[in-house]
Chains A and B, each alone.
Chain A
Amino acid sequence: KQEVTQIPAALSVPEGENLVLNCSFTDSAIYNLQWFRQDPGKGLTSLLLIQSSQREQTSGRLNASLDKSSGRSTLYIAASQPGDSATYLCAVSPTGANSKLTFGKGITLSVRP
């Protein structure tokens, strides 16, 4: 059974800092990995999706990497801003084109002005 872990559960940083959010998963047989952002009381917004054959994906100040063999992904946020404050979740999809995403519990990020 796939398990996704995100540690720490919460993180507080000053504005402008570069930061890395970690995600680990127990079963390396994944089809893809997706990073989401969730603002309080809102739905999830897809940030980046990495296919199992890819090593990384970039979008603006965000860069996500994937090391499938070690069961790890990182989300790098450059020059953090208060508007980046949210909960960041990673989720993995298994091989076999099964669309069942398994989510981590998320990391709640607070960027202090």
Chain B
Amino acid sequence: DTAVSQTPKYLVTQMGNDKSIKCEQNLGHDTMYWYKQDSKKFLKIMFSYNNKELIINETVPNRFSPKSPDKAHLNLHINSLELGDSAVYFCASSQYPAYEQYFGPGTRLTVT
């Protein structure tokens, strides 16, 4: 059974489009995260939710909006996509904040 899953795995779209990436965890964790890994492989946190409440909101453009309908899901919606948004986006979860984090397989977003 996949612990943290993301869909889609690959996403190719044009500039200006709006897209969403979905994440689900079946570990029963309270906390979920979104990370961005850029072309230089540097991994940086974007958002974190605990019990559906936003607890970390890094300096990301407000075109990025996370949504947590329940504890097991954290989706990422991106408006007006730009070339610089091309990256791999990882979802992760942990039992509680600051506990061991488990990562999904990533979504490779390519904006053309």
Contacts and interface: CB of A to CB of B under 8 A. Distances in A.
Interface of A: 31-32, 34, 36, 42-46, 49, 87, 89, 91, 93, 97-101, 103, 105-106
Given A99-B31, A100-B48, A101-B45, A43 B90 contact: yes
Tell me the interface secondary structure of chain A in the complex. Answer: strand
Interface residues of B, number: 28
A89 B48 contact: no
Interface in B27-65: 31, 33, 40-45, 48, 50, 55-56, 58
Contacts of A44: 43, 90, 92, 103
Interface in B84-112: 90, 92, 94, 96-106
Q: Which 6 residue pairs are nearest across A and B when measured between Cβ atoms?
A: A99-B97, A44-B103, A43-B103, A103-B43, A43-B105, A49-B100
A87 B45 CA distance: 19
A97 B106 contact: no
B41 A42 contact: no
A103 B42 contact: yes
A43 to B, nearest CB: 4
A103 B44 contact: yes
B105 A98 contact: no
Given A89-B43, A100-B48, 15 more contacts: A34-B101, A43-B90, A43-B103, A46-B101, A93-B98, A97-B96, A99-B31, A99-B50, A99-B97, A99-B98, A100-B45, A101-B45, A101-B101, A103-B42, A106-B41
Contacts of A32: 98
Nearest to A44: B103
Contacts of B106: 42-43
